[in-house]
Each structure stands twice: as C-alpha cells, then as structure tokens.
Amino acid sequence: MNEFIGFTVSGLVSAGLYAIVACGLTLTYTTTGIFNWAHGALVAVGAFSYWQFAVDWGLPTPLAAAICLLLVGPLMGVTLEAVIMHRLEGTSEATRMVVTLALLLGVLAGMNWIWPPSQQRLVPRIAGGHVLTVLGQRVPYSDILVIATGLLVAVGLRTLLYRTRAGVEMRATVDDRTLATLNGASPSRTAMRSWAIGSTLAVLAGILIAPRGALSATTLALLIVNAYAAAVIGRLRSLPMTFVGAVILGLATGYAQGYVGSRQDITGYQYLVGLVNVLPVVVLFVALQFLPQSRLRGARVLRVKEVSSRPTWPGTLVLAVSVVIVAVAVAPLLSPGDLNSVTKVWGLAIVALSLVPLVGYGGRLSVCPLSFAAIGAVVVSHLGGSGNPVVIIWAVLIAAACGAVLSLTVIRLSGLYLSLATAAFAVMLDNWILTLPKFTAVIRVPFTDVTLYRHEITIFEGGSLDVRRPSFFGVHTTGDHAFFIYGAVVFALVTLVVAAVRRSDFGLRLIALKDSPVGYATLGLNGRLTSMAVFAFSAGLAGLGGAVYGAAIQRPSPNVFSFFSGLSILLAVVILGVNSIGAAAAAGVFVGGPALTNLFPGLAQLSSTLIGTAGIGLGDNPNGAVPAEMRPRWRPVPRAPVVLVGGLAAVVITYFLTLAGVLGNWTFATVLVVVLLAMPPVARYVAEIPAPRPVRDAEADGLSGPPELLGLTLPVTSADLDRVSREISVPRPRPTGGSHGT
Amino acid sequence: MGLEISGVSVRFGGLHALDDVSIDARGGMITGLIGPNGAGKTTLFNVITGVQRAASGRVLLDDTRIDRVPAHRRARLGLGRTFQRLELFGSLSVRENIRVATGALPRSRREATVNQLLDRVGLGDVADERADALSTGVGRMLELARCLAAEPSVLLLDEPASGQDDQDTARFAALLTSLAADGMAVLLVEHDMELVMGVCERVHVLEFGRLIASGTAEEIKNDERVRVAYLGEEVPA
Ligand SMILES: Nc1ncnc2c1ncn2[C@@H]1O[C@H](COP(=O)(O)OP(=O)(O)OP(=O)(O)O)[C@@H](O)[C@H]1O
Ligand SMILES: [Mg+2]
C-alpha cells in the first residue's frame, strides 16, 4: 500500500511536469499554427539558466527563479517570434516543422557550447529536505510544489483563453486571421503574447525539472518528446484533455517505473526495462492512431512556390560519374586517419538520398531516416558474417518491409501527425529495441510442442555491431581506400535509381499527391497505396545506406543511429534542397565529412550549429540552397567551354602535382576553392550573360509589382488579375458581361 | 444508366447544406444543376465523389450503390469531376497533369491519350507550362482534360465556364455537346444561364439545400418559383 502511494506521488510529479510542458506547446500551436519541436530545448534552456543563476552565480533561489521566469522566459519567446516564427506565415507545414526542428538542433548545439556537457551540474531541491506525511508516506514539499504548479498552469491557461479579452483574441486569430484583424485583434501582438507565455512555461518546467538529476540538454529535450503524448491526447487543441493526458501518462510511467523498472527479479526484466523508459512514446504512437480520420485535403496556396525540377539523364550521369571520379582522385590524397573517417560519407549520403523521394517528391516529413538505416546495418551484421554482398539485398528488402509496416500504422496521418509518429518510432527504436539483449524467436504450432521456426536474434547485444565489409567476386573492400571508392559507386548507382523514379509515372504521382490529394483521389488513384509505396522505397534506400554506413564504421554502436543524428541528416538535405539529388550528396559530405571539425578543432558543435542556423533561415526559401542558389549561379558555366575546360585543367594539373608531392594538400584545397568560386562569374563574363537578378518578393507572389502599389501607382496587368483570382479562389471577372457572374 | 442520387442530406453544425435532395443525370445528355450561391451544389458534388460524407441518402452509379465506396474507387467506376476551386497539380506541367490521370490506362496507350486530349481541349501551346502559372480559364480546361483522361462515364463539372470569355465558352459548349453525344452523362453546375439553357436538356434547381424544381430547360425558365428564388425577377403584379 505504502509502495502504491509512493508510486502514485512520483507519477503525479511527472504528470505535473508533462502538463506544464504540454500546455505550453498546445498554447503556441493553437494560437500560431506552428508546432514547436524546439519546446523541449527551451525547457533545457530554462533548467540550465536556473542552474547558472542559482548554483554557479549563487543567487538566492527565489531571485534566480524570478529572473528566469520574468526575464529569460518572456525574452526568449519574444525573440523567437520576432526573429523566426513570424516569417513562417504562408509557408508549408513541412517548412514550419523543419524550421523548428532546426531550432531544436541549433539550441542544443548552442547550449553544448555555453554549458559544455563534460561538467556535471546539480541543482539542490527547492525547500530542501522538508517533507509532508500523507497516509503514512513522506512526500517532499518539492514534489507537492510540482503537482500544484501543474494544476495551476492548466487552470490558469484555460481561464486566460476563455475569460480574458487577450485570450479570446488569441483563439479568434487561430480560427480566422483576417477576420480577427477586422475585429480589432492584432495577430502579431497575440502571436508575441503566446510565444512569450509558451516559452515562460517551458522555463518553468525547466526550473522544476532541474533538481531531479544531473542536467543534460539532450536528455531534457528528448524527455519532452514524452510530453508530446499528452498534447496529442488533447488533440493539440483542448487544454483540459491535455491535462488529463498528462495525468494518465504520468501515472502510467510512475507505476511502470515502480512495479517493473526497479525490479531486476521479475521475468523478462531485461526486455521490459527499455519499454518502461519509452512508455510515453508508445502512448504517443497509440494516441496518434485515435485521431479523427483526416479528410482529403485540397491544394494549398503558398507564399513561395515549391519547385521540383525533373532531373535529366545527362545531368544525373555527370553527377554519378563525377562522384566516382572525385572519390578515386581524393582517396590517395588523404592521410590514413582522414580516409578512415570519410568512409562514412557515402552511407550517410545514401540515407540523405532516401529522403529525396519521401520528403521532397512526396512531401511526407519523416524524421526517422536513421532508424531504417539501423535496421539495414543490423541485417548485414546478422546475416553477413563473411562479407557476402547478397546480404545487402536482404538489408534493403527487410528495411523496406519495415517501412511498409510503419507506413501502414501511420497511413491515415498527414503533416505534423505523421512526423510525430515517425519521431515516436525513432525514439522507441533508439531507446528500447536497439538496446534489447539477445533473444530467441520461436514460432510454434499453438498448443503443441512442434517448433516451426527458431532463431536467435541479436540486435546490438547492448554494445556495438560487427559489420563486415563486403567482397565482390574476389574483390575485397576491407581496406579504407577500396571501401571509400565502393561507397561512391553504390551512391552513384542509387542516384541513377532515384532519378529514374522521379522521371517515371510513379514520380509524377508522388508530386501530384502532394500538390492535391483531393484531385489525386478523384482521378481514381489510391493515395494511401502511393504513400505506402514511397515509404517502403525510401526505407529500403535508407536500409542500404545503413548497410554501407555500418560497414564504414565497422563497429557501430546504437547511438550513431540516434534520433538526433537522423535529424541532422534530414535538416541538411532539406536546407540544401530536398528535391534535388545533388543536395543529398552534399548533405552526406557535410554531415559525415570531417572537413569542418578538422579545420576548426574544438568546434565539434559547428556542423550542428550551422545546420541549425541555416535551417532557421529556411522560412524564406523552402526550396533549399542547391536549386535556389547554386544552380542559377552555375548555369552559365557550360555555356563558356573555355572557362569550363580551363578550370578543370587547373584542378587536374594541381592534382597531379600534389600527387607527385610537389605541392601540399592545402595548396590543392586552396586552388580548388579558388577555381570553384571564380568559375561562375568568369563564365558569365566570357559568355556575356547578365548577373542573375535576385527575385523580388512581389515576383515570388507572381504579381508584376508590390501588391500595395498595384492599381494605385502601377498598372494592374491581366496576369495580376488572374493571380489574384486564383489566390482568393473566385472566378476572374469576365471582360464582357455574362448574365449571372459570381 | 447514369447517376442517380436520392434523399441526400448533409449538415454542417446547424446548417442544412443539403436536405433530402434527389436528382439524376442520364447518360447521353447534359443535365444542369443551378442555384444561388451557397445553395449546396458543390457540397452535392463532394458527396457524389466521396470527398464529403452524407448524413443520409444513396448515390447510384449505373444502378450500383457507391456511397460507401472510397473516393478513388468511385472514380475508377467511372465518375469524373472538376472543381470550382481548382485542384490542379501545381508544380507539374500541363502535360504531366494529364499524364498522371492516365494511371488506370495500359502503359502503351498513355502517351497517345495525353496528346489527343491536349488537342481536344486546345492546350497544345501551353503543354509544357507549370499548371500553377495558368490563368483560371485555361486551368479549368486542363482540369477537364485531366478528368477525361481517366475516361469517365459520368462527368461532374463545377462552374467550368467561369473565368472564360465568350469565345471560349462557345467552344466549350460544343465540346460538352460532343461528349454527351458519345454517351457520357454530364452534370453541369454553372451560373452562366445562357450556357445552361443552351446545352442542358434537363435542369435541377437547388435553393438553401433543397431541390425546388426539376424539368426541361424550357419548364425551368418559366417556373415561377425559380424566377423568384434564383433568376431574381419580381413576380409580375
Ligand atoms: N466544409 C464546410 N464546413 C461548413 N460549412 C460548409 C462547408 N462547405 C460548405 N459549407 C456551407 O454549405 C453551404 C453550401 O455550400 P456550397 O459550396 O455547396 O454552395 P454552392 O451552391 O456550391 O455555392 P457557390 O455557387 O457559391 O459555389 C454554404 O452555406 C457553405 O457555407
Ligand atoms: Mg460551389
């Protein structure tokens, strides 16, 4: 009985924390339409700032808490709105998610910079050791404080939204921004308010969590994924239901931890302990299944057009061949250490490429690419003891099958919910499945002793995998040099496959389904089947990537396939241009390549920080860097053959001089960079092509001038009329009168 | 043969968007469906095509009940539609839009069908333009072509002539007549009365979600309730 009360109290404490986090998240989502993936990172910022003031600088507890709640929280919220969130209006849901995911990664990287994780940080409990005795059980005051705060926050927010003018304005803005403006509400003011409140709630949760263990930014940010489950139970709309969700979730974790998590003596403990830890994520996954069926969505009007240009065969072949040539050429220049670390580039590039059909063409933002890669790596390690290349096919097939199964469970979901489900899947795999000890799978005929199938399954054995590098017809890829070139060849082949898919009818269907699901269905095409197919295809490619990546590392541990690592790959591809095959190659090199950390040792966070900041800027250019910046810049080069040949010749000559030992590696790198930077402008000069004009905003809208001036100081063209008619979805007024125009 | 709808009701909260509506559209002829703004015409199309669930009522296509069938299967059974608010595949070209719709045809026939349709609706000149760069009128023709690519037996058109000039409309009327002559059932929602009265053999009139009249074009023109409710004429004193 005592035990039960104890577990209940600790469950309620979790419930209080979940409630505060989930209510803040729901508030900002309902009032601004932006789901803040970085909410957990804000909680971490709250916890660390509190530690900074209260422990490191030794301020009195109440003062430290007040500074955090009254300054840090609101300031952080207002800054977020002013710098990032307000630019997201009129962008696609995927862009919004990518931006806040980037924020998550960026904030975490920034925090590791300010508060290096090597130092252990502990925060003393508020109200020290004082306890209250409830039903014979001693309950610390700090626990009661958390429970009470959770309740207060839920009640307070609900009152704010329904009983005050500011709250009513906030709710009105969600329903109809324009209408609310006409009624005197200011959308930017309400957005500012709700970000300030949301971020302050995150800080509050941070302060309350801080004393409950050593501080770790990633653990806190991930812990908060648990709170998403509560928010989803409230359907991201209802605060009371969110609160109920938090209580269910808190109690469930409390009892599970108490009755299973701390009893090593129960049967199957080693299999269940992981499950206990990921229980909230399992709840999230299940809760998503109970969301109302999404209706067929119509086409959307976006501020910036999404482009997905069809890859040409010559272009793709040039890319594929140059990947192999560059790999062959670069390999001898690298020192053994560098060569060893760049072998992982191609596996990551293939994983990045697996996202192009799914996220780029299909518009489905799955955040678990590395989960399928992990499956691929496990399969290869498990079946491929002797480096038999056939297992790679198995890796692809099994990963694809897992992708198809996952897609079956999430097929009804779209947009945000799909991403949440894939995040839940990634965390479940990371923290439970991949940590499972060895087990034996047995399939028996029921009620008899007849065994149909018996197989011992090892996943990571709690340590690292043993992935052998394959050999083909006697050619071994065991050495780093050979493996690096092998990886490039596999990547080059995969680019051809993806280009073929984009050029096929299936590729067209993917884009059509993204553009208008309603239009798609009424043409007799089955959207769910199409989604499932692209999920399986992408998972298969990711599995292949994982097989190559795993073999590059040779002894990968589960954390190389973690949710956050997957996130960096996803973000890198999206930033570079998720519709473009070239961007995937670049993303692999960027995430896997050692270049940055070699140039700036000690800045291990640099690539995460760069990805974070670049991703945050994505709101203005959702098409990514490669299609929007690089392609237009390089387009003139083939039209000035002299420059192209000259540039290539310079690189090739320097290359051989370097190989012969006349020049150093750094000289080669410098020449390469100079040539790459100089070629586009020189080519433009030689071919007499004017510099590309930056696209003005008005043109991005498809209008001939700024909308506020059209019809006043600028003439309205017929194209403008068409554009406006489309935008507000009324038929364009007919030039000569019909009998009954609308 | 054709489409038969009986007793369809749809409610949005307290609003009766459709209230016990029964109409039909027979093969080989053009049927008009008219009514003031907000009468429920688009909602009825949504119910027929499976985009919107009805609270009650039956939809029969060639005497088979289809109201429990998912949207894409209804289309496969021969139901095609266009949208009042265009539902083009914006980032694909005109040609690719039509190509997507040929998905149910054997691979060998797809290319030819696309070219033939481009000709038939007169989109040959803009075949390689992005669909979201088209004007509304041209976009409507593309939707029609796309829908024809799936070879429907019943065609639902939601205000297809709005956004088109008189010359286009005349050509469009001829196209509709030829489609009906091929045996297709065409159900036309349109505010352009000249067009409706010119091409439709039968006309149904909706007002506030209720069917207030059905008959030949001539009967509808002379129906007093319709003139008051919809054509906006005063009852002669
Ligand atoms: N999804 C919806 N939710 C709530 N109300 C809706 C919805 N769709 C339509 N309505 C309402 O149902 C009624 C019928 O709308 P519908 O679009 O079918 O009219 P319509 O006859 O097509 O009008 P129009 O000539 O303007 O196109 C309108 O009052 C409309 O506001
Ligand atoms: Mg309508």
Atom 4 in ligand 1: residue holding the nearest Cα: B12
Q: Residue written as tokens 């729901």?
A: A26
Residues A161 and A239: beta-carbon distance below 8 Å: yes
3-state SS assignment for residue A465: coil
Q: Is B194 within 8 Å of A307 when comparing Cβ atoms?
A: no
Please report the DSSP string for A593-640 in residue order: -SHHHHHSTT-TTHHHHHHHHHHHGGGG-TT-HIIIIIHHHHTTGGG-
The verdict on A724 touching B (C-beta cutoff 8 Å) is no
- Render the burial of A657-684: b for 16+ CB within 10 Å, e for the rest: ebeeeebeeeebeebeeebeeebbebbb
B51 CA → ligand 2 middle, Å: 14
Give A705-714 pLDDT, tens digit per residue: 555 556 665 6
Q: A with B: how many residue pairs have Cβ under 8 Å apart? A: 140
Name the β-bridge partners of B8.
B21
Q: Does A739 touch chain B (CB under 8 A)?
A: yes
* A509 with B100: Cβ contact below 8 A: yes
CATH no. of A2-289: 1.10.3470
Mutate to test the interface with A, among B136, B153, B158 (most CBs of A within 10 A): B136
Q: Summarize the confidence of residues A622-639 as an average pLDDT.
A: 71
The residue of chain A with its CA nearest to that of B135 is A722
For a substitution probing ligand 1, which of B9, B15, B46, B159 has the most ligand atoms within 8 Å of its CB?
A: B15
Flag whether pLDDT at A695 surpasses 50. Answer: no
Rounded CA separation A101/A84 (Å): 12
Say if B198 is an interface residue toward chain A (CB within 8 Å): no
Q: Going by CA atoms, what residue is nearest to atom 3 of ligand 1? A: B12
Nearest Cα of chain A lies from the Cα of B178 at a distance, in angstroms, of 21
Q: Answer yes or no: is pLDDT of A462 > 80.
A: no
Residues in chain B: 237
A160, A167 Cβ separation under 8 angstroms: yes
Taking the alpha carbons at both ends of chain A, their separation in whole angstroms is 72
Over the stretch A385-400, which tens digit does the pLDDT of each residue have? 667 778 889 999 999 9
Measured CA to CA, the distance from residue B130 to residue A518 in angstroms comes to: 19
Name the residue facing B89 among A519, A726, A735 (closest C-beta). Answer: A519
The pLDDT confidence band at residue A175, using thresholds 50, 70 and 90, is low
Q: How far is B237 from chain A (nearest CA, A)?
A: 24
A chain contacts of residue B163, beta-carbon cutoff 8 Å: 725, 731-732, 734
Predicted interface score ipTM higher than 0.90:
yes
Structure tokens at A433: 């499945």
pLDDT in tens, B123-181: 989 999 999 888 888 999 999 999 999 889 999 999 998 878 888 888 889 999 999 99
Q: Where are the domains positioned within chain A?
A: 2-289, 313-432+468-617, 639-687, 702-742
For residue B63, the tally of other CB atoms under 10 A from its CB is: 8
What secondary structure, in 3-state letters, does A370-427 show? HHHHHHHHHHHHHHCCCCCCHHHHHHHHHHHHHHHHHHHHHCCCCHHHHHHHHHHHHH
CB of A740 within 8 Å of a chain B CB? The answer is yes
SS3 A59: coil
Cβ pair A35, A232 in contact under 8 A? no
CA atoms of A192 and A82, how far apart (whole Å): 8
Count of beta carbons in the 10 Å neighbourhood of residue B117: 21
Shortest Cα–Cα distance, A623 to chain B (Å):
12
What's the A696 CA to ligand 1 centre distance in angstroms? 37
Position in ligand 1 atom list of the atom nearest CA B13? 4
- Any chain B CB within 8 A of the CB of A463? no
Which of A276, A538, A501, A243 has its CA nearest to residue A418? A538
Tell me which residues have their CB closer than 6 angstroms to ligand 1.
B 12, 15, 17, 35, 37-43, 84
Around Cβ B39, how many Cβ atoms within 10 Å?
24
Nearest to A632, CA basis, from A572, A702, A680? A680
**Closest CA of chain B from A511, distance in Å:** 8
At A311-328, the pLDDT tens digits run: 889 889 998 999 999 889
**Is residue B204 within 8 Å of residue B213, measured between CB atoms?**
yes
Say which residues have a Cβ less than 8 Å from residue A412's Cβ, sequence separation at least 6: A289, A291, A293, A294
B145: which 2 tokens? 């072509």
Angle, CA A664 vertex, CA A662 and CA A669 arms, to 5°: 125
Asked if B111 reaches chain A (Cβ–Cβ under 8 Å), the answer is no
Question: What's the distance, CA A597 to chain centroid?
Answer: 22
Atom of ligand 1 nearest to the CA of B41: 21
Torsion of CA A195, A198, A200, A206, to 10 degrees: -140
The alpha carbon of B37 and the centre of ligand 1 are apart by a number of angstroms equal to 8
CATH among 3.40.640.10, 2.50.20.10, 3.40.50.1220, 3.40.50.300 for B2-85+153-229 = 3.40.50.300
Per-residue pLDDT of chain B (237 residues; tens, 9 = 90+): 789 999 999 999 888 999 999 999 999 999 999 998 889 999 999 999 999 989 999 999 998 999 899 999 999 999 999 999 999 999 899 999 999 999 878 888 899 999 999 998 889 899 999 998 888 889 999 999 999 998 899 999 999 988 788 888 888 899 999 999 999 999 999 988 888 989 999 999 999 999 998 989 888 888 888 777 765 655 444
Q: Give me the residue label for tokens 């009940």.
A: B65
For chain B, which residues make up each domain, given as ranges?
2-85+153-229
Q: Which residues contact A219 (CB under 8 A, 6 or more apart)?
A: none
Burial class of A264 by CB neighbour count within 10 A (0 to 12, 13 to 18, 19+): exposed
Ligand with the closest atom to the CA of B41: 1
Q: How far is A609 from chain B (nearest CA, A)?
A: 32
Q: Give the whole-angstrom CA distance, residue A516 versus residue B36.
A: 27
Q: What is the pTM of this model?
A: 0.86
